[in-house]
A = this chain, B = another copy of it.
Amino acid sequence: MKVAYQGVPGAYSEQASRALFGPGCRTMPCETFDAVFEAVENRTADRGVIPIENSLGGSIHLNYDLLVRHALSVTREAYVRIEHALLAPSGLKLADVREVRSHPQALAQCSDFLAAHRAIKPVVWFDTAGAAASLAENPEPDKESAPGSARVAAIASEAAGKLYGLKVLKKGLQNRAVNYTRFLCIARAPERPAKGAVLKTSLTFVPARNQAGVLHKITGLFAERGIDLSKIESRPDPEKPFDYRFYLDISGGAQDAPVRAALQGLKKMTRDLRVLGSYARAELPKAGRRK
């Protein structure tokens, strides 16, 4: 089982891959989310793992767009707690750090720390673990051109720090203690879920235009069959501002008779309906305390 993810070893997406397929699974780093989808489509990888929403940042529209564009199935989900650490080469002290590298989202999530440490310049890297890796490879990047000017740290997971031999200068760097990301697994075909698993199904569609109360009719298709909605989101299409695309997560599998009946009704009220996949429901991680 070879699992493609965006980033480099130590990425949160790699953590999610191991949470989904066991610590021994073979993982395949990709530069972009597009490359993850392509790797699965081209059979270079058996599965892909992508982040789909974050508890602070909300839905990751880019990956919803890619799910709509590619004919792949969502087969699993997992939640990963995001705990950012300040990582540095050994010998560097917090007071001496002058630059910190990380993903723009991670830097934004640590803005309180950065505001309290104005001497540290936050530099964007398009990958948290990649920032740690680059630092481990070249711990004093500007030493020759500007001696002593670049005492660099990275923000990534503790696991990434361990992998690249960096020291943890500070844990729990993010503004809010509770911060998790939901990941989805994508595959070329549906997977048979474990026996007794509680299933959920993800779908997306654009409701038929200008039809009064269409959303009420849609929720009715599910309510009258005892199907729960665990997520609903409408998003104006940036290219066609009067079209709203909906994202729904419902209880049950797409092959269950009540869900099938509801989807048949849904097809008549919407266009571009895509059943993204059915999979075992994961539990949200327990709220933790800030360390």
**Chain A residues engaging chain B, CB cutoff 8 angstroms:** 55-59, 61-62, 104-105, 107-108, 111, 114-115, 121-124, 126, 142, 145-146, 149, 176, 178-180, 212-213, 215-217, 219-220, 222-224, 226, 228-236, 238-242, 244, 284-285, 287
Contacts of A223 in B (CB 8 A): 212-213, 215-217
Q: In the complex the two chains form, what is the Cα distance from A125 to B223 in whole Å? A: 47
Chain B positions within 8 Å of A105 at CB level: 104, 108
Given A111-B126, A238-B287, output 14 extra A-B contacts at Cβ < 8 Å: A55-B236, A55-B238, A57-B57, A104-B104, A104-B107, A104-B108, A122-B124, A123-B123, A146-B149, A176-B238, A213-B224, A215-B229, A232-B232, A241-B284
Is the CB–CB distance between B238 and A212 below 8 Å? no
Kindly report which residue of chain B lies nearest to residue A286, judged by CB atoms.
B241
A125 to chain B, nearest CB (A): 8
Are B212 and A219 neighbours in the complex by a CB distance under 8 Å?
no
Query: Chain copies in the assembly?
Result: 2
Q: Which of B222, B231, B235 is the one whose CB lies under 8 Å from A58? A: B235
Flag if B122 contacts A179 (CB, 8 Å): no
8 examples of A-B residue contacts, CB within 8 angstroms: A58-B61, A104-B104, A121-B123, A215-B229, A219-B219, A236-B284, A240-B287, A241-B284
Most B Cβ at <10 Å: residue of A111, A219, A235: A219
B234 contacts A231, C-beta separation under 8 Å: yes
Chain B residues near A220 (CB-CB < 8 A): 216, 220
Q: A231 to nearest B CB, angstroms?
A: 6
A284 CB, nearest partner CB in chain B, Å:
4
Chain B residues with CB below 8 A from A104, complex form: 104-105, 107-108, 122, 124
Counting from the closest, the 8 A-B pairs by CB-CB distance are: A216-B223, A213-B223, A104-B104, A241-B284, A122-B124, A146-B146, A216-B219, A55-B238
A233 lies within 8 A of B232 (CB): yes
Question: Bound complex: CA of A122 vs CA of B123, how far in Å?
Answer: 6
- A233–B234 contact, CB under 8 A? yes
Q: Which residues of B contact A124 (CB under 8 A)?
A: 104, 107-108, 114, 122-124
A179 proximity list for chain B (CB < 8 A): 238
How many angstroms between the C-alpha atoms of A241 and B53 in the bound complex? 14
Residue of B nearest to A180 (CB): B238
* Residues in B neighbouring A284, C-beta threshold 8 A: 236, 241-242
A55 CA to B240 CA, complexed, in Å: 11
